[in-house]
């Protein structure tokens, strides 16, 4: 009897000692610095936090950017930020010619990339090659241009501004400032997003809206074309542009013409922010290009690694419109200086 009691007591003592050792081990692990036991917790949090320790992916971003258009620098900066975080090899290329842009998509397919982020400025030219990418099992997301086409073309997600809604908001703003006659300057005829902006302005603006087509790749020509139109019709009191560089050029055109026309614009950069501050540009609509670039790349990483995708394949993720005026420009300026707004 005594022997059995001693045996049970010894077992209890051994169990207690073992429990104490385990507890001490846990305390040591949890009590270490962030370079010690916390590593295990950080590692388990990596997926949710997006700090990728996953195998390196290769993702192509293919846009319709024209050479020298600083808007796309902000898009690319956002894409690079996401790529750095997600352990992604970002392959960026662009061409304003729709057929050449389609060729760039084919090049990405031939390179067997893990995903493609693409703009659909002229979607009809993209249909065939995007179908090839999807057939090859490459997920494709759209951004910036193609809101009305991405679902029909089978893209996974879309990130951007509803250009029709943005245009309608712009038209209402023109009403509020008392405008009567505007010209809406389109730098790329047939570009679906640009056409939608001006159509939106016309839908809600109570005055007169005229579209003026210019060659966006030739800025001296843009300046002279706007100047000539303002000299021809002195009733024009607002020039509506569809990009920051064109707004700044339009400011010069208006000064050249010597009339009363003011300038307001879609899209933003740090130089444009200064023009809003000075009053050279009355207001701007920001679609947050940094966010578009960032979300496009990050979304493909999330899809490949976690199986996540935003909007359920049914709804876009909207990044605008956000108005920038003298009232809030100071808040925006510090971010624009960094190239994130």
Report helix angle 71-86 to 289-306, nearest 10: 30
C-beta separation of 138 from 146 below 8 A = no
Mention every residue, 6+ apart, whose C-beta is less than 8 A from residue 232. Answer: none
Tokens of 268: 């933003």
Contact call for residues 238 and 214 (beta carbons, < 8 A)? no
pLDDT at position 68 is 83
Neighbours of 320 (CB within 10 A): 22
In the prediction, which pLDDT does 51 show?
64
Distance CA 244, CA 40 (A): 47
The token duo for 273 is 């922010």
Beta bridge pairs of residue 285: 266, 323
Query: What would the two tokens of residue 138 be?
Result: 């490459």
Instruction: Write out the chain's pLDDT in tens, 341 residues.
Output: 434 434 444 444 444 444 443 333 333 333 333 333 444 344 434 444 456 789 999 999 999 999 888 899 999 999 999 999 999 999 999 999 999 999 999 999 999 999 999 999 999 999 999 999 999 999 999 999 999 999 999 999 999 999 999 999 999 999 999 999 999 999 999 999 999 999 999 999 999 999 999 999 999 999 999 999 999 999 999 999 999 999 999 999 999 999 899 999 999 998 999 999 999 999 999 999 999 999 999 999 999 999 999 998 899 999 999 999 999 999 999 898 888 98
Pairing of strands 281-286, 322-324: antiparallel
pLDDT at 33: 34
Q: Where are the alpha helices (DSSP H) in the chain?
A: 2-31, 38-49, 71-86, 98-110, 127-135, 163-176, 192-204, 219-232, 244-257, 270-278, 289-306, 329-338
Model confidence, pTM: 0.80
Q: Positive or negative, the Cα torsion across 143, 147, 150, 156? A: positive
What is the pairing mode between strands 322-324 and 208-213? unpaired
- Residue pair 144/318 in contact (Cβ under 8 Å)? The answer is no
Set out the domains of the chain in order of their start, with CATH numbers.
57-161+289-309 (3.40.50.2300), 163-286 (3.40.50.2300)
Residue closest to 266 by CA, chosen among 164, 340, 180, 338:
164
Q: What is the pLDDT of residue 30?
A: 35
The gap between the terminal CA atoms of the chain, to the nearest Å, is 82
Phi and psi at 207, nearest 5°, equal -90, -150
Distance CA 332, CA 267 (A): 13
Mapped onto helix, strand or coil, the DSSP state of residue 58 is strand
Q: Which residues pair with 93 in a beta bridge?
A: 62
């Amino acid at each position: 009897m005594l022997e059995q009691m001693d045996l049970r007591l010894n077992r209890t003592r051994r169990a207690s000692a073992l429990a104490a050792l385990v507890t001490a081990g846990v305390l040591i692990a949890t009590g270490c610095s962030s370079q010690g036991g916390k590593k295990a917790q950080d590692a388990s949090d990596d997926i949710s936090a997006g700090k990728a320790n996953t195998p390196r992916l290769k993702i192509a971003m293919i846009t319709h950017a024209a050479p020298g258009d600083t808007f796309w620098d902000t898009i690319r900066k956002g894409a690079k930020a996401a790529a750095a975080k997600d352990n992604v090899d970002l392959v960026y290329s662009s061409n304003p010619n729709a057929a050449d842009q389609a060729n760039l998509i084919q090049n990405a397919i031939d390179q067997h990339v893990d995903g493609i982020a693409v703009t659909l400025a002229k979607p009809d030219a993209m249909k065939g090659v995007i179908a090839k990418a999807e057939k090859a099992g490459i997920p494709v997301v759209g951004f910036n241009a193609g809101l009305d086409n991405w679902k029909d073309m089978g893209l996974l997600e879309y990130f951007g501004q509803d250009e029709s809604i943005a245009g309608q908001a712009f038209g209402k703003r023109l009403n509020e400032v008392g405008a009567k006659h505007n010209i809406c300057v389109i730098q790329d005829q047939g570009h679906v997003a640009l056409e939608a902006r001006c159509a939106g302005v016309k839908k809600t603006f109570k005055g007169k809206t005229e579209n003026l087509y210019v060659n966006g790749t030739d800025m001296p020509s843009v300046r002279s074309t706007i100047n000539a139109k303002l000299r021809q019709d002195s009733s024009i009191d607002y020039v509506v542009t569809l990009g920051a560089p064109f707004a700044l050029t339009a400011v010069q055109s208006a000064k050249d013409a010597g009339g009363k026309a003011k300038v307001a614009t879609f899209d933003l950069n740090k130089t444009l922010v200064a023009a809003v501050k000075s009053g050279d540009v009355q207001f701007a609509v920001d679609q947050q290009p940094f966010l578009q670039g960032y979300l496009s790349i990050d979304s493909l990483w999330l899809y490949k690694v976690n199986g996540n995708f935003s909007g359920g394949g049914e709804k876009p993720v909207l990044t605008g419109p956000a108005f920038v005026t003298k009232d809030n420009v100071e808040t925006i300026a510090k971010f624009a200086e960094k190239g994130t707004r």
